[in-house]
Every structure is written in C-alpha cells, then in structure tokens.
Amino acid sequence: MKNGIIFARKTTWRSRLDLEYLDETSQRKISQRERTDATKKSSLGQKLKQFGDYASKETFGQVHAGGFLHHLIVENSDGTRTAPSQMTNTERKRRIANAWFKHIRKFPTSSENPVIQHRLVFSMSREMHDRLVAAGVNPDRVLHSTTKKVMERFAEHFHSTDSIGYAFGIHHDTDNLHVHVALCPRSKKGAYVGCSMSRSTTGGHKNQMAYLRSCFEQENKRWTNALSSPQELEEQLSKRLDSDKIIFAPRLTKAHMEALRNAQTAEAIRLQQSYQAIRNLETAVAAKRQFIAVQRNANLFSRLWGRPKPKLVRTAEKLASAVDRRSLREMQNLLFKIKREYRAAHKRYSQQHGFHSYANRSAHTHSHRHQSHQL
C-alpha cells in the first residue's frame, strides 16, 4: 500500500454464503474476535481515533446491498417498495440471502463445487482516515460511497451490458477501517462474474483485482487533492447528495453540555444552540425522507391495484412530489452548512477554552456543595 490509498484482497468461497461475516456486530464476528484475541477485551471501534464522533447506526454493523441485489430486496410481495434504510439489519440480511440463492439457482452449473461468493476486503489507511476526520469528513461515508463507485466501474468495465450484485458491511474492529464485500458469482443476466488475480498475458483470465486497485487509486487521488485544498473540499462536498451525512458534527457528551451550561458565555450558548439545531434538523430530514417514501409507496400501490387517476390528479401528485424532493434537498443543504459552521465553532471553543476544565470545575463545585450539605 502506498500514499495511504485503499487496497483490496479477495478469497473465493464455494461452501456457503456468509453474510454474517459482513456484519461486525453479529455473533459470528464477535466469537471470531474473541478466539483471535482473547486477551484483549476492547470494544468495537476503540482502536480508531475519534471513532465515536462519526460512527452512526447507519454504518455500524449494517449490511448493505448493491447492484441488482439492491433492486431485488426493496420489492415487497404486494408490489410496493421498502427502502433498505427502513428495514432492520436482520430483515435486510434475510432478503439479501433469499434473493442471492434464488438468483444463482436460475443458472445451473455442471461444477460439483460451484462458487457461492467472492469475498473482497477494502481497507483504508490510518493516514487517510485521520486526514478525513481532521477535515470533519465521515470516513464511513467515504468508504461506503467509494465502494459503491468502484463496484459500479467494475461492472461497467467487465459487464458493460449487464449488472452485478453484491453486499457489503463496514468494519471498525481493527486498526484500519475496512469494508467486507460479498460479490455474487452470477450477473443479472447469468454471466459468470470472475474476480481473477491472474498476471498472465497469454491466458484467458482477466486481472479484475488489478483493475479494482486502479479504481481505488483514482478515487483516493481525488480525495487526497480535495483534502489539500479547503476550498475544493468544500465545493466537492456541497455538491454531493449525501452532503448532510458526509460531514459529521463532533458530539457533545453530558459532561460537555454541563460544562457549556456552567460557562454561560455567549460562545458556549451559541455552541449549545447550534448543536441542538443540528439534532432537530437531522430529525426533520429523516421524517421528510420517511414521508416521501410513504407517499411513493402509496402512489405505486394505487397504480397497481386501484383505478387509474385522472390526469390532472396525477399531474398534481407529480408536482407535489417534486416540491417535497426540493424541500428535502434544501433541508440537506442547510444541515450541511450548519454542521460546517458548528464544527468550526466547536474547534475554536476547544482550543480557546476547552471542555474538560469546565467539566472538572463543575464536578468539583458539585462535590464541594455536596460535602457542605452533609456538614
């Protein structure tokens, strides 16, 4: 590995589909960690600096589907669709496994020991991780979006008229943030999906792993350039559809909040208000996403099972949907802006005043009052 880029390695499994391996919180992974390192009882994510600031329920222990598998798992038996974010992790894994085996059984093979999955591992260097965190960028989101983008390029390069399916999960349980990917061995149309490391120039195998590494090098070069220029980084992040998620706001613990309340300065009050505004807007954005998903399902169900609506009604619904999507985007942009401003204010306050001094002062004052009360 050079220049702190993300790199890849792979294994091919012929025995079973192991989606539990993608979930770092599964009992399978927990048992494996205990066997591997029984002397260390550290919790997940403890080895990564500032992990607690950016990790969220959206990435921690979650298994995601990509490619044609994503489209398969969102379909419900009644014709409606459920976004993966609205499913529990257990339900998502169940749907992925069912869709996976149903798909590969469509394409019988003469092999006595057929390939069930290719297992890939993409790792982020500590250098890249720490640079992202220092810039206020969520490394989980970077690894998540980079994985999807690289797999899309892989599909375009080797299966240009087809589609691939895969599942993945981000892991925080080692010194390097990394993602495990399970690649389905059959494309949407049934072609074999290889993941060769062959270096032969005369053989018929293609070096897919070399191509994957080159894709990661391109992505990491782009991130390296952006991180070298605050203006370019700001411009790139503001254009992303997940701009509100890729920026993380340093968390304020109960001790931090108590310290700010005790300080009662204008800076401390503004910091508390900004933090609360972020939490409120995050809740509003989640509610808006949920509302749009419900409306979309209702319209779909109506088209499938109800009577055709008048053209005027359909036009009005389309306009309302467009307004909702625009409103969501505006809320996301506002959340992105508030997070950036909050992070700058949080950094200034930490450098000028610190949180621990006020927290300790609060603790000492409380202890002194408690002792006086006892006397």
Q: Which of 127-131, 157-161, 306-310, 341-345 has the lowest mean pLDDT?
A: 306-310
- The model's confidence at residue 205, banded by pLDDT at 50, 70 and 90, is low
Kindly calculate the radius of gyration of the chain based on its CA atoms and give it in whole angstroms: 24
Q: Please state, in angstroms and rounded to a whole number, the distance separating the CA atoms of residues 185 and 165.
A: 8
State mean pLDDT over 6-14.
75
Question: Is 50 exceeded by the pLDDT of residue 375?
Answer: no
* Contact residues for 313 (Cβ-Cβ < 8 A; gap 6+): none
What was the pLDDT predicted at 278? 93
Question: Is 80 exceeded by the pLDDT of residue 173?
Answer: no
Looking at per-residue confidence, does 56 or 49 come out higher?
Answer: 56
What are the φ/ψ torsions at residue 186 (nearest 5 degrees)?
-125, 135
What is the overall mean pLDDT for the chain?
81
What was the pLDDT predicted at 9? 75
What are the φ/ψ torsions at residue 11 (nearest 5 degrees)?
-135, 155
Do 166 and 69 meet the contact criterion of CB atoms below 8 Å apart?
yes
Give domain limits for the chain: 7-246, 254-374
Looking at per-residue confidence, does 362 or 352 come out higher?
Answer: 352
Q: Please state, in angstroms and rounded to a whole number, the distance separating the CA atoms of residues 227 and 219.
A: 12
Question: Is 50 exceeded by the pLDDT of residue 354?
Answer: yes
What was the pLDDT predicted at 362? 40
Question: Is 70 exceeded by the pLDDT of residue 120?
Answer: yes
What whole-number percentage of the chain has pLDDT above 90? 35
In the block, tokens 């600096």 appear at: 49
Q: Please state, in angstroms and rounded to a whole number, the distance separating the CA atoms of residues 82 and 66.
A: 15
- The model's confidence at residue 147, banded by pLDDT at 50, 70 and 90, is very high
Strand order in the sheet with 7-13: 7-13, 117-123, 178-183, 165-171, 64-67
What pTM value is reported for the model? 0.79
What was the pLDDT predicted at 83? 85
What was the pLDDT predicted at 1? 43
* Contact residues for 70 (Cβ-Cβ < 8 A; gap 6+): 84
Do 90 and 149 meet the contact criterion of CB atoms below 8 Å apart?
no
Question: Is 90 exceeded by the pLDDT of residue 250?
Answer: no
Of the candidates 1, 10, 6, the one whose C-alpha atom is nearest the C-alpha of residue 217 is 6
255: burial class by Cβ within 10 Å (0-12, 13-18, 19+)? middle
What was the pLDDT predicted at 249? 87
Question: Is 70 exceeded by the pLDDT of residue 259?
Answer: yes
State mean pLDDT over 218-229.
91
State mean pLDDT over 283-295.
87
Q: How many CA atoms lie within 13 A of 172 on its CB side?
A: 26
